[in-house]
Structure 1
Amino acid sequence: MPASEADYGDLIDAIYEAAAAPELWSRTLVQVADYVGAAGGMLAFHDPSGPGSFIITGRLREDLDRLYIKQYTRNPYAVALARAPANRLILANSLVDVAEVRRTAFHADILAPQAISEMLVAVHPSLTQRGSSGGVSFALTQAQSDYRDEIATRMRRLVPHLARAIDLSLQVGRPSAKASEAASLLDALSGPMLLVDARGRIVLANRDAEALLSQVDGLSVGSPDHSVLCASLGSETRKLAGLINACLTVNVEGHRHPGAVRVTRPSGKPGFLVVATPLPAALTASWGALQQARALIQIVDPAAALELQAALLGQAMDLTQAQVRVAALISAGLSVPQAAELMKLAPTTVRTHLARCFEKTGTHSQVELARLVASLPAAVPSKRES
């Protein structure tokens, strides 16, 4: 049915609301798609160098966004649109060899799962320069493609408004920049951390988390689309899923207490503690492409944390590296003979190091030393020579 002028007026209001509050773009893209008769929409920027790319979707599959950004920002359409005129409605299939595109992994991984047959695109000049491309696009299924002329007519009325709204949004705060700020914040924090969306899928992992997951020792990422945190043991994977689901379903305004589960490591090293904390929507709304983040997942290696705390104590109290190692092992609950076995030293040598730890730190027992170590933050100190 043709949309009314009242519908059109409400939609224009919604477009300019998104301009002022970028967190509303996903909702607005859905409203535009409904108005013109498309399956869904996206606002995207394809940065050829990679880090600046972002995508905001409306009624398209959010679980494919991360895969798209990671592997497909230089897809056939994006490459062709980098040379297309700005602020003009374009049928994307007119720019590419459709039969060739259908043979690509991009089609198999992104287009086919969403039944996308055609896209109506309006390139934005501020997002399309020096090989980059960006703007708004609306996906059509095969059935909707039969009405693309009618859909295009409605879209042309909206293109100038969408262009102005994008300009305003870029002035308010570019979504890709916000995403970059969030990524930088996570990387600056000590320890492996992940952000997950409302479905429990990973939308961002900091460097420590990526390094840990690459070892596949207790934790890894699994299907769908390698975006779900999994444990090596099936029973612990189910516990992880339950933890994250519980975190995502609590009322974060009234319940901010995190939950945790223990994960076994096949290597035999001490297990991880996985902690999930809900994030208020208001906190992530300004993160642009990461506005779907709904929970923070922290992966804690208790043994590593104690080593860092002991090293910090060593830096302050002038402990040697051997003394720091003894302090860490004793604080982890090991006896002197057990610490000696791990360090490949004689028990008498370990007792000598322990006595020097007591003397330098002003403690008088293993319990006091352990309490002192545990009271320190797990911050990374500068390296010392033994």
Structure 2
Amino acid sequence: MLSIFMFALRNCTRMREDLIDRIYEAAFQPECWIDVLERVAESADSASGLMVVFDEVKPIQFRGTPAIYDVIRAFCEVHWRDSRRASHTLTHPPSGFVILKDYFPDDLLATDPCRANRLAVGLDSEISAAISMPTGEMVVYSFDKWGCKDPHGRSDVDALNLLYPHLARAGLMAARLGLVRAAATTAALQLIGLPAAVLTKSGRVMSTNSLFEKLAGLFMPAAFGRLMIANAGANILFQEAVEKAASGQALVRSVPIPETGERSACVVHVVPLRRTAHDIFPGGEMVVAVSMPRKSALVPSAAVLTGLFDLTPAEAKFATALVAGNSVMKASEAVGITERSGRTYLARIFTKTGTHRQGELVALLSSSHPFE
């Protein structure tokens, strides 16, 4: 019996790793998104899947599986003007995936044209995530069940949240590329619109775009043409992320870089190249892209922190409470956990953000907003 359980567990792990590879493939090969959305939908026992890139409340790009395609096309072309979904999401950002019947107010759903169109084609329960990008876009992933099926439950939320950081990072690339396939390495790097470089499996810099070449003081040259980050703590996280990406392991990371006197705070994203994405970047193993969030005195949303630093939804809420000026004890109370659990959260957040003191963490996170 134990051997059967272990076999099933290993098979489930392999399937999830294959799906993660496909997510990163779609980041650079937009024609792969439909297959990815169908596979992600299956992991949450759903009948349809979609992704929409928003510029504030206006949808600018979308992909949808056959069961939802006509509904989401109508939304993006016409019905978004009459829907309060995007505006509600911007003012009440969710952390991770949420079941929309629990998230949206009843009066919003009752008058929402997209909801009515879903019901008209037989779809009902929706589960969704809205991910704020450091470059200002919002990427929404949503998955629906047929009305004849049981609604989504906690297990479906948990299954999708395992994929959340990978969908967030692939969504950043998709948003910057505009869901358009680039024909060559140089064109792709320029289309991204962020400072970016392609690295080989050994970590050697293979190609950069002009924005990357203009970065001053962020990276330092290392042996054999490799990169290292000048900030020692951030460099440890960066080298680990590069090593894991090159070996095909699941750890993929966005590394926050604290502000200095010469440079604003920024985030370095390590995005692995998988499957046919290698056709665009021959010889490349990963793309390193740098986003530079605007500095603000406002408290960043939990959704932004989750997307930037791979924090869990619970860690992101706790971090948001800290940035708002609360002590560990008060922040713990605010999110409904014990102070002991709060200190455990704080230790994990230190590890993920490369910080060591609460003041340093707050200073870093306070600058972690998207561009306006």
- Give me the TM-score of the superposition, normalised by structure 2: 0.41
Structure with greater Cα Rg: 1
Name which structure has the greater RCO, CA cutoff 8 Å, separation 6+.
Answer: 2
Superposition TM-score, scaled by structure 1 size: 0.39
